[in-house]
Chain A
Amino acid sequence: MKKYEYLEHTADARFKAFGATAEEAFANAAEAMFNVMIDTSGINPQITEYIELQAPDLENLLVDWLSELLYLFEVNMVVFSSFEVFDIEKKGDEYLLSAKAEGEPLDLEKHIFDTEVKAVTYNDLGVQITSQGVTVRTTVDT
């Protein structure tokens, strides 16, 4: 199964990510986002960040998840390449996410960036759950 695909957008980057479960689709969306910035295939994961989030719905949870990764990238200066979402569950009125992201320290000699992702937008945002699996769709501001 394809992990993700990019869609045409004049100013920004838009993609769909797929998974058998929401957890898998969210992890693939993170990989798609980092691959907008940099070819993640050459990254050797040495640092692990654990992430826990909650949001009122799955769409907001997706934005929060990707936004948190951008924040950690910029502040802790870690380029992520490997993502595992352990669990997404609904508890009361909130959706909870627990995950980890692995990467290596930012090294401007080694890491050649294509495009900086500034932020995750709510434009054309979607989380679609069918019997075939989960598709998420998002647009990031570059």
Chain B
Amino acid sequence: MDTEGPEIEGIERVDNDIWQVPLGYKPGMRVPGRIYLSDKLFTNLEKEAVDQVANVATLPGIQKFSMAMPDAHVGYGFPIGGVAAFDAEEGIISPGGVGFDINCGVRLIRSNLEKSDVDGKVNNLLDSLFKAVPSGVGSKSRIRASESELEEIFTNGSRWAVEEGYGVEADLTHCEGEGCIEGGDPSQVSAKAHKRGRPQLGTLGSGNHFLELQYVDEIYDPVAAEAFNLKQGQLTFMVHCGSRGAGHQVCTDHLRNLTRAVEKYKIDLPDKQLACAPAQSEEAQAYFGAMASAANYAWTNRQIIMHHCREVFGQQMNMDADELGLDLVYDVAHNVAKLEEHDVDGGKKQVYVHRKGATRSFPAGHPDVPKAYRAVGQPVLIPGSMGTPSYVLCGKQSAMDVSFGSACHGAGRVMSRSGAKHTFRGEQIQKDLSGQGISVRAAHPSVIAEEAPGVYKSSSEVVDVVDRLGIAGKVAKLMPLGVVKG
């Protein structure tokens, strides 16, 4: 097909890798849309995703642009890969800009080991990890948090886990927001969300969630890599999961509340999933308190999973924590709304930045970047899909100008789960990956088919776009050795 001109009528190319959805593409747009795509990624762009970018642009108080990152694809409400900032006074807060899996995210753990240290041991490691971390539908935690502990988790996030012995202080200082969004309000988390959350703490979940054993294959930015303590050939480990049923229920409950608020505040919406309320209204602040609580649960969840993985490594490698050096490099949230300060029209402004399937990408010098990384920018972690590379990037200054300090979050799907199951057989994918030296464990082969590398865009292509735009810079490429699928 001709990739020079827009395939979807009405979209304009305004620069290399930047496509504009102009005002008037849909009635009621307050700002234009911006979609960041290479020519190649443009060929996978769905019209429905463009419509969703335009829908978001109609929301009150939106600043500059309704944006979609290069991994964008159709979601509901916001597209996946959608980013939008709303004035903290005049704007809105919407669960449709966060999603059901609140603070679904990724953490990267480095080690003192090299790839060669696990030669012949990968299968045993994976089997032990698969046992140690409950995964799949219906899996239950071995941790029995009391009601008051759960409230503490909803309020303070990962700190609870570290204080309970599931980690060390450095895990907090190397985590986005130190594993907590301030303003978590357990009183806004329903009894139902509590009931779903309690038995699932420390569980992986299913679908695209995974644990992945990797090694550093290539370093692009030696200075940032040194700051992140990453070296070529080094063994690393990645955890991808979210807030489980607690987060899903928080979103369900408040979405219901906010659909009523839409009528009360007379907000005209093109999609019911964009239900929202004025940022300072009781309804929006109630959602924000509950959303922050679910985000805090998710960080605690990933913290506990990492702890169990460290134990497995210790046992399997017969090494203590100091020898293993399984330090948290960083942890990023994919699905959250945050109150942040940004430069808008020459002045500083408080905005609620919604990132749905997008990663924060703050540059060097930003006070919210951990001290250890402040000279280079925060780590931005972009997981691949089974068999494809993952990337570590660092936040860059352009992100503050171009995308409210945001970058992509992954590769982005191009095929439905049902389409994937018709196209691929899990057993075959498992065999093919094994031929490439990548072992996979999953509750059922159909999960492997649904998540086959071929259902995703190229993570390399997606990462190259954010690198070229200067919103995050490539630091290292990680190749998979083994994957545990939820």
Contact = CB atoms under 8 A, between A and B. Distances in A.
A113 B273 contact: no
Given A60-B256, A115-B450, A11 B80 contact: yes
A121 B273 contact: yes
A38 to B, nearest CB: 8
A122 B137 contact: no
Given A113-B136, A113-B443, A75 B196 contact: yes
Contacts of B112: none
A63 interface: yes
Interface string A35-59: 0010000000000000000001001
A67 interface: yes
A108 B138 contact: yes
Interface string B104-145: 000000000000000000000000000000001111000000
B134 to A, nearest CB: 10
Given A115-B450, A122-B273, A122-B275, A12 B76 contact: yes
Interface stretch (B211-219, B244-252, B461-469): B244-252
B419 interface: yes
A121 B249 CA distance: 12
Chain B CB within 10 Å, residue with most, of A9, A118, A139: A118
A111 interface: yes
B252 A74 contact: no
Interface residues on A, range: 35 or more
Nearest to A57: B259
Nearest to B49: A10
A120 B259 contact: no
Contacts of B271: 122-123
A114 B421 contact: yes
B76 to A, nearest CB: 3
A123 B273 contact: yes
Contacts, number: 108
A110 B235 CA distance: 37
B137 A10 contact: no
Contacts of A87: none
B413 interface: yes
Contact of A113 (B99, B206, B272, B275): B206
A10 B205 contact: no
A60 B275 CA distance: 12
A120 B77 CA distance: 13
B74 interface: yes
Contacts of B90: none
A11 B206 CA distance: 14
Nearest to B253: A67
A125 interface: yes
A123 B76 contact: yes
Given A9-B74, A108-B138, A71 B272 contact: no
Contacts of A6: 418
Given A60-B256, A119-B248, A142-B417, A113 B138 contact: yes
**Leading 3 A-B pairs by shortest Cβ distance:** A123-B76, A122-B272, A113-B137
Interface of B: 46, 73-77, 80, 99-101, 136-139, 192, 195-196, 205-207, 245, 248-249, 251-252, 255-256, 259-260, 271-273, 275, 413-419, 421, 443-444, 446-447, 450
10 contacts: A9-B416, A11-B75, A11-B416, A116-B137, A119-B100, A119-B251, A119-B252, A122-B77, A125-B272, A141-B101
Given A116-B206, A123-B273, 15 more contacts: A8-B418, A9-B416, A11-B73, A37-B137, A75-B196, A108-B138, A108-B443, A112-B444, A114-B446, A114-B450, A119-B100, A122-B77, A122-B271, A124-B76, A125-B272
